[in-house]
Amino acid sequence: MEWLGQWIESLQQFELMDWVSMIAMWAIGGLLIFLAIKKDMEPTLLLPMGFGAIIVNLPGVMHQVMEKVEIGGKLVEQAKLDAFGNPIYDAGPLSTLFGAGIANELFPLILFIGIGAMIDFGPLLSNPKLMIFGAAAQFGIFFTYCVSSMFFPEIDALSIGVIGAADGPTSIVVAQKLNSQYVGAIMVAAYSYMALVPIIQPPVIKALTTKKERLIRMPYEPKSVSKLTKILFPIIITAVVGVVAPESVYLVGFLMFGNLIRECGVLNSLSETAQKVLANLITIFLGITIASKMYYKEFLVPETLLILGLGLIAFIIDTAGGVLFAKFLNLFTKNKVNPMIGAAGISAFPMSGRVVHKLGLEADNQNFLLMHSMAVNVSGQIASVIAGGIILSLGLPLLG
């Protein structure tokens, strides 16, 4: 029974507050699993995040990385610290997966191929003016940056602001490139709130719109969009963004490459694979890898909790910005738009578009806003990536 004694001894190293913190993280993981299974809220993302959060907070799973340094002519073992002076913890295979897929930005870029393959730009190309709503809904990025700069260094504030892009891959890439010390918290906030869009957005939309406004119908009159236009669109967008915001060219490029696979007409099987197998597989890897940064000693600290709060504010401001911008336009236009579609301008595709469509049906079961909201939603996907590039152009010079 020697092993039992060793096991008990290993558990005794944890103090009461350690156990309380671990139990709190188990509860958070359990909540994410509950939302994924019971509420069917982005299960591909929340299920691995929740399960991973439980794994890394089990006693003895995470280990503090030690290193030997020479002090006074003797080799002494001490805790290894990162560039910011924080202890480094190892989650075994999850840390390996993090280094192989997130630290080098591989997973986010590959995921963009899958997302691009899912997107149909047809409704947007039929009504290009809807693209302005995607731009309006990015206000939360810069608002959150201004607020977070009061609490965090400039580089970290810029990285935190990108949570407002409502785009997990963009948040990861920007935070990694700017070498933020809060990459883990930023990833968790961005992906958690993306999955929680069906909970966050409806109260904000309803608070900012009247019943009369929610009843506004927008007949969908599809215009024929040629195959050539759909093929040229991703190529032209990539080229334009490469000139205007070169720091975001790979983000936009991979997104548009995925869309080109969809629209070219000669890679149908590859397009289906990218939309389903590739996107789902990478999302699962992302979810469980992100969970490696949910260790209680790193997660339950004031800075992380503040970032989560700022992330929530960013999503609320994004939603409000899109809705209010639509209401503002209605003051000057004859053909009124339903203000709710402005909320779909955040990059959480396709969750936000579905939320707006559902709210439209809730107000009037004959009010079909799906095509309009999806057009705005895909424009928000492009706008958020460009905004991420702008943030990078502001932050990279600060790194020297």
Q: What is the pLDDT of residues 79-122, one digit of tens each?
A: 777 766 778 888 888 888 888 888 888 898 999 999 999 988 88
Q: Are the CB atoms for 134 and 379 separated by under 8 Å?
A: yes
pLDDT above 50 for 299: yes
- Among 318, 296, 264, smallest CA distance to 136 is for 318
pLDDT at residue number 218: 85
The CB-side HSE value for 139 (13 A sphere, CA atoms) comes to: 16
Average pLDDT over residues 234-263: 89
pLDDT above 70 for 226: yes
Average pLDDT over residues 368-389: 86
pLDDT at residue number 306: 92
Average pLDDT over residues 168-196: 85
pTM here is 0.86
Q: Which helix (H) or strand (E) holds 102?
A: none
pLDDT at residue number 117: 93
Average pLDDT over residues 348-367: 86
pLDDT at residue number 400: 66
The winner for highest mean pLDDT among 171-175, 197-201, 203-207, 240-244 is: 203-207
pLDDT category of residue 1 using cuts at 50, 70 and 90: low
Q: d(Cα 322, Cα 382) in Å, to the nearest integer?
A: 15
pLDDT above 70 for 5: no
Model pLDDT for residues 302-326, shown as the tens digit of each residue: 888 899 899 899 889 989 998 999 9
Q: d(Cα 59, Cα 62) in Å, to the nearest integer?
A: 8
pLDDT at residue number 328: 92
pLDDT category of residue 7 using cuts at 50, 70 and 90: very low
In this structure, of 7-21, 107-121, 138-152, the range with the lowest mean pLDDT score is 7-21
Percent of the chain residues topping a pLDDT of 70: 94
pLDDT at residue number 110: 92
Q: What is the mean pLDDT of the chain?
A: 86
Average pLDDT over residues 162-178: 84
- Other CB atoms within a 10 A radius of the CB of residue 297 amount to 15
Decide which of 264 and 349 is more confident: 264
Q: Are the CB atoms for 378 and 135 separated by under 8 Å?
A: no
Contacts of 91 (CB under 8 A, 6+ apart): 56, 61, 62, 98, 292, 295
Contacts of 201 (CB under 8 A, 6+ apart): 315, 319, 343, 352, 355, 356
Model pLDDT for residues 46-83, shown as the tens digit of each residue: 899 999 999 999 887 888 877 777 666 677 677 777 76
pLDDT at residue number 257: 95
φ, ψ of residue 269 to 5 degrees: the values are -65, -40
Q: d(Cα 155, Cα 183) in Å, to the nearest integer?
A: 11
Q: d(Cα 303, Cα 284) in Å, to the nearest integer?
A: 27
Q: d(Cα 150, Cα 379) in Å, to the nearest integer?
A: 31
SS3 80: coil
Decide which of 17 and 337 is more confident: 337
- Output the CA angle 392-311-279, nearest 5 degrees: 70
Q: d(Cα 295, Cα 58) in Å, to the nearest integer?
A: 9
Model pLDDT for residues 113-144, shown as the tens digit of each residue: 999 999 888 888 888 888 888 888 788 888 88
The structure tokens listed for 43 are: 């299960």
pLDDT at residue number 48: 93
φ, ψ of residue 103 to 5 degrees: the values are -60, -30
Model pLDDT for residues 257-283, shown as the tens digit of each residue: 999 999 998 889 999 999 999 999 999
Whose structure tokens read 């003051």?
331
Give residue 318's Cα distance to chain centre: 13
